[in-house]
Amino acid sequence: MAAKSTVPFQGTKEQEAQLRSVIAELKDERGSLMPILQKAQDIYGYLPIEVQTMIADECGIPLEKVYGVATFYSQFSLYPKGKYKISVCLGTACYVKGSGDIYEKLQQLLGIEGGQCTPDGKFSLDACRCIGACGLAPVLTINDDVYGRLTAADMADVLAKYE
């Protein structure tokens, strides 16, 4: 874990206050740890150990449990994401139409592997499992933009839009 977390935690007072009020609101509901983690990730963009510790302390549950849940689900990230989050759909419908090649091409172009972020913090690359836009396969998303009916050859042009 230490090897990858090169970006120091930079949480602000406002974010902390926001998180504390979320916890205060939800902590007494049954099974509220997941909703709290989801809100925390909305606030901070990821779930560094500092945020997990805060949640554990405020809710009065062991950090080990918080960490266990945070690492179980693929939507929770312990590392910061890039300014532009690229997510390539590797669901079956996209895969049979060549999204594997697209994913590989992006790794080549960005010089990073899946799950990583470019050193300048601009792009992060992930694979996802079906966003349900199978009619447009193969599909990728960059933040909230959806790109469909792609080929590996289109990748340079898609990235260029974010330069």
**Contacts with other proteins, residue ranges (CB under 8 A):** 30-35, 37-38, 65, 68-69, 72-76, 90-93, 95-97, 100-101, 108, 128-137, 139, 146, 148, 152-153
User: Comparing C-alpha atoms, which of 5, 77, 87, 86 is closest to residue 40?
Assistant: 77
Output 62 or 121, the one with its CB closest to other proteins.
62
> What span, in angstroms and rounded, lies between the C-alpha atoms of 102 and 95?
10
Asked if residues 58 and 77 have their Cβ atoms less than 8 Å apart, the reply is no
Q: What is the SS3 assignment for 150?
A: coil
- Please say which residue, 14 or 144, places its beta carbon nearer to other proteins: 144
Q: Is 45 exposed, middle or buried (0-12, 13-18, 19+ CB in 10 A)?
A: middle
Provide the minimum distance between the beta carbon of 69 and other proteins in the complex, in angstroms, as a whole number: 6
Which CB atom, from 11 or from 114, has the smaller least distance to other proteins?
114
Minimum separation from the CB atom of position 55 to other proteins (A):
12
Least distance between other proteins and beta carbon 4 (Å): 19
